[in-house]
Structure 1
Amino acid sequence: MNSLSDTLAVLATRDNAKALTRLSRGVEREALRVGDDGQLAQDAHPHGLGSALTHPWITTDYSEALLEFITPVSDSVNELMDRLGDIHKYTLETLQHQWLWPLSMPCMVSDPKDIKIAQYGSSHGGRMKTLYREGLTHRYGAPMQIISGVHFNFSISSELWQALHQHSGSELSLDEYRSQGYFGLIRNYRRWVWVLPYLFGASPALCRSFLGDKKPNLPFETLPPGTLYLPYATSLRMSDLGYTNKEQENLGISYNGLNQYLTSVNRAIRQPSEEFAKIGVKVDGEYRQLNDNVLQIENELYAPIRPKRVAQAGETPSQALARAGVEYIEVRALDVNPFSPMGIRPDQIRVLDLLLLTALMTPSADISSEEEAEIQANLQAVILRGRQPGLQLTKNGESVSLRNWLAELFDQFALVAEWLDGFNPATPYADALATWRISVDEPESTLSGRLLSELKGSGSSQSEWAMKLAKGYHQCLSEYSYRHWHQPDFEGAAASSHQAQSEREAADTGSFDDFLSDYFDKALAKV
């Protein structure tokens, strides 16, 4: 494969060079609803927000209180943020005396039983979604499931794929080359994924209530009252305390190509779990989980990045990929940014663009088992000790300082920024890079560094500090003007979604047991 600089030089000279820079993106932001006391909301998903099963932009994740906002795909960063802002504004106008929790780690939870599992109605598909969450509760406990994050969906234009295909001289078909290219991106992303918790990790602390009766297995320090933190941590959300799954450590998911990936996922969804078998599947006539495999369904595979394709009716994610290859990728390693009302800022999106394009255009060898161990060790080191002075990581079997490696990556990102900004009278990518380059030498300017500094300076618990932010953002968004949608658009979407849910419920035939059996017969068919 050609070098990054050679590839960029060729792309810059093409007749349709500007068209090559078009990128498509979507954001999924999760946020807990909380009451005035900072406690988790106990009411059902508000009717005015529509059906969580069928609404295109507003749904729930694990809990009735865990909202998820989904933007349409856009090739404009400004439009993407405007649509995310519109969703936030309408939601807050609909909520009654409730706020959106601005952190990834949950608010104060007095009792895990207070975490209400999301409900999706009486249709077979809706019941299956709720049952899947019941299984997550029995497997991992409810508190872990209400950790919030931001997912970033990303794809490049067909024009750029054609240009890269031609430049590579590959004999693969364009569709085959596209899938190969996205898996190359994924492998480089996994090598560099530690960059995201370092820069954008924003969960170095948590409320003591999150651990319940468990004794911490990390050397936490305490901030009064009731806040635990690690001095150099970046993202406890991504640690063993957070959104991880020890049962999955030995699944051996391969990202060395589409076929290898599909084969390893296909194997994983069939792998039984002795631990989960102890829970039981249907006990005394009541389901506890969908099945007792390591993964109930593919969505349970916890990964910081996923290859994706929009599935057709009845398809699993793997079956969609097997049918037509990779369409886009989903980045899942982002904490909620507490310093933004929308949980993410435009400059973060531009840095993500740069990292992902650099990963795409940089040669990307297969990942060996030795390198896989290296990748995991680097990520864990940055999650727990990312801002530690002089922190060393491992690159190609050799020790390298985080600072030097990050500086090298920023130099590569700058080449891509120059290419993207070359077609823009402004310099948004260079500006975004400059904003975050400061963090290479100043770890305290990262999100986790800023959060701990402000938290210590406030003299408050993390919950009290976060509630002040939540109420400030509520005021900010109440003054926000709709940019693309307006209130009638959201009211219409809510009404349509309720109607769509009713139609699904009316259309169902047969028993739920038969529905599940049929689903897994198809889902477990080899792809």
Structure 2
Amino acid sequence: MFSEIGQLIFDNEAVAKTQDFTMGLEIEMQRVDENGDLSKEPYPAGVGDERTNPWVTNDFLETMSEVVTPPAAHALDAMHYLFSINNALRTALAPGELLWPLSMPPRLPKDKQTLLLAKMGPEKEAYLKEWLKRHGFSEGTPCGAHINLSIDPRVFDMVYPHLKDQFASETELENYMYTKIAQGFMRYRWLITYLFGASPIAEANYFENNAGPAAPIRSVRQSSYGFGTKFTGDYTNVQQYVDRIKQGAKDGTLISDYEFHGAVRFKGDGKLADLAKSGVKYLELRMLDLDPSSSVGVRTNTLRFIRLMSSYFIMTPALHEEEVNKVLLRADQMNEEVATESPDAVCKYQTSARAMLARLERYANQIQLGPEYQEELEDLEDRVENPRTTPSARLTAHIKDGSLSEYALERAKRYQNSALQSINPFHGFESQKKLSANDLKEQLFKGSWEPK
């Protein structure tokens, strides 16, 4: 079952370190009013300057708030950061403002020219205007939960001395291991869409001329109906990933390398062109719809499942390079099929989903993960057997007159009221001072919680 690297890690009793991913979260939500329309209020002054606050910012529209957490060593720590910053944003909203809990936006105005692009500085705003010309307003409005993962450096330090004959440097090894994880998530993106897809419909005026699906589907956002750029990345290795994006920007398919919004993105410290040499530092996973059953858009158990998958991909063999594009092309096609299935239908790939979850359960048992992982896997296995228990199918029960607005507003008001009941709301962003991760941690928790 294990690859050569996986066996090395297992033999050196370092498997636990493959679970120690540093994790950061980026959660987008639209600001709306109590009628379910996009807010006309400005960016909340109580969370500082949208152009300089790294923890609460905007993306695409002025109403599209994005909460960003510092990297954390554990899923629970990441969730505490997210909950606290999300509450800080909620308490800074204007009276009557709410955060829309669904990935697909609320009803859009018929005249979309009235929508305001995010104020992100001249360079970013010029990019957004060009993007708008190519794609239109609607395609930029879906929101999601993005997970940033970085491998514990001790894994590289332990493995590299044994594999110097295969890798010219530790950076080359790092790139290889991140590529393995990226390939794994691209290959099984369809499974994540099935298990966590939560955007069965779009609200009024999202689609023009009835261009959308005729009935609810599993995930509008994760299908070809969703987010704008349909540019396919190359995950064969880091250099080919870079070359593919650079070629897209050169031939005009992409506005710039920034426009690549694949379901997985390699991230480093410098320019994209230097990524293979400087090394991948973390992966950005972009395939999760917002979970409206959580006030912060994602659940702790979902993060644990993502970590489990990541660890499994580290420990098991990578695809042969000549097979990567063929396998991932088929995986993209599978994802489109799954995303556009009826939410309460048995998945076309149910047998494959069973097999993958069984493999993950066996792996979790081998490395003796705790009961929380076993419980999560059992819940997900039930979703495979009973599609009506999936998030998207549950949402369809709340559709009224082709809309989820009533349900979304009820959840939004509930979460907003909960945040406003906080005894000691966070006001640390009001000074406009840019807070470091350490300052943020100290001011957010003040000894009540100590994230690693």
Does TM, scored on the shorter chain, surpass 0.5?
yes
Q: Does 1:306 align with 2:265?
A: yes
After TM superposition, list the pairs within 5 Å mapping 1:121-520 onto structure 2. Answer: 126-165=121-160, 171-172=166-167, 173-211=169-207, 213-216=208-211, 218=213, 220-221=214-215, 230=216, 233-246=217-230, 248=231, 253-271=233-251, 293-311=252-270, 316=271, 318-365=272-319, 366=321, 367-385=323-341, 387=343, 389=345, 391-392=347-348, 402-418=349-365, 421-422=368-369, 426-453=370-397, 455-456=398-399, 461-480=403-422, 487-492=426-431, 494-496=432-434
How far apart, in 2, do the equivalents of 1:418 and 1:7 lie?
Answer: 19
After TM superposition, list the pairs within 5 Å mapping 1:67-146 onto structure 2. Answer: 67-96=65-94, 97-110=96-109, 111-120=111-120, 126-146=121-141
Task: Compute the displacement of 1:23 (Å).
Answer: 1.4
Task: Compute the displacement of 1:13 (Å).
Answer: 5.0
Q: Provide closer, same or farther for how the CA distance between residues 463 and 414 of structure 1 changes in structure 2, counting only shifts above 3 A.
A: same
How far apart, in 1, do the equivalents of 2:347 and 2:428 lie?
Answer: 50
Task: Compute the displacement of 1:236 (Å).
Answer: 0.2
Q: Provide closer, same or farther for how the CA distance between residues 234 and 270 of structure 1 changes in structure 2, counting only shifts above 3 A.
A: same
Q: Provide closer, same or farther for how the CA distance between residues 239 and 472 of structure 1 changes in structure 2, counting only shifts above 3 A.
A: same
Task: Structure 1: state its 5+ residue gaps.
Answer: 121-125, 222-229, 272-292, 393-401, 498-527
Task: Compute the displacement of 1:82 (Å).
Answer: 0.8
Amino acid at match of 1:333: M
| Residues 137-169 of structure 1: CA deviation (Å, up to 9, x unaligned) | 111111211111111001111112234445667
How far apart, in 2, do the equivalents of 1:421 and 1:105 lie?
Answer: 38
Q: Provide closer, same or farther for how the CA distance between residues 432 and 133 of structure 1 changes in structure 2, counting only shifts above 3 A.
A: same
How far apart, in 2, do the equivalents of 1:198 and 1:104 lie?
Answer: 15
Q: Provide closer, same or farther for how the CA distance between residues 320 and 24 of structure 1 changes in structure 2, counting only shifts above 3 A.
A: farther
Contact 1:29 1:69 in 2 (8 A): yes
How far apart, in 2, do the equivalents of 1:488 and 1:184 lie?
Answer: 42
How far apart, in 2, do the equivalents of 1:257 and 1:495 lie?
Answer: 40
Amino acid at match of 1:417: A
Contact 1:239 1:383 in 2 (8 A): yes
Contact 2:223 2:335 in 1 (8 A): no
After TM superposition, list the pairs within 5 Å mapping 1:55-70 onto structure 2. Answer: 55-70=53-68
Contact 2:346 2:386 in 1 (8 A): no
Contact 1:421 1:427 in 2 (8 A): no
| Residues 347-397 of structure 1: CA deviation (Å, up to 9, x unaligned) | 0000111122222222122235543431221011011016564543xxxxx
Task: Compute the displacement of 1:496 (Å).
Answer: 3.7
Task: Compute the displacement of 1:204 (Å).
Answer: 0.8
Q: Provide closer, same or farther for how the CA distance between residues 163 and 234 of structure 1 changes in structure 2, counting only shifts above 3 A.
A: farther
How far apart, in 2, do the equivalents of 1:42 and 1:7 lie?
Answer: 53
Amino acid at match of 2:430: E
Helix, strand or coil: the match of 1:26?
Answer: strand
- Larger Rg belongs to: 1
2:46 maps to what in 1?
A: 48
Task: Compute the displacement of 1:41 (Å).
Answer: 0.9
Amino acid at match of 2:417: Q
How far apart, in 1, do the equivalents of 2:49 and 2:339 lie?
Answer: 36
Task: Structure 2: state its 5+ residue gaps.
Answer: 436-452
Amino acid at match of 2:155: L
Task: Compute the displacement of 1:434 (Å).
Answer: 2.1
More deviation, 45-54/93-102? 45-54
Q: Taking structure 2 as the reference length, what is the TM-score of the superposition?
A: 0.88
Q: Taking structure 1 as the reference length, what is the TM-score of the superposition?
A: 0.76
Helix, strand or coil: the match of 1:487?
Answer: coil
Task: Compute the displacement of 1:20 (Å).
Answer: 4.8
How many correspondences in the alignment? 430
Q: Provide closer, same or farther for how the CA distance between residues 495 and 158 of structure 1 changes in structure 2, counting only shifts above 3 A.
A: closer
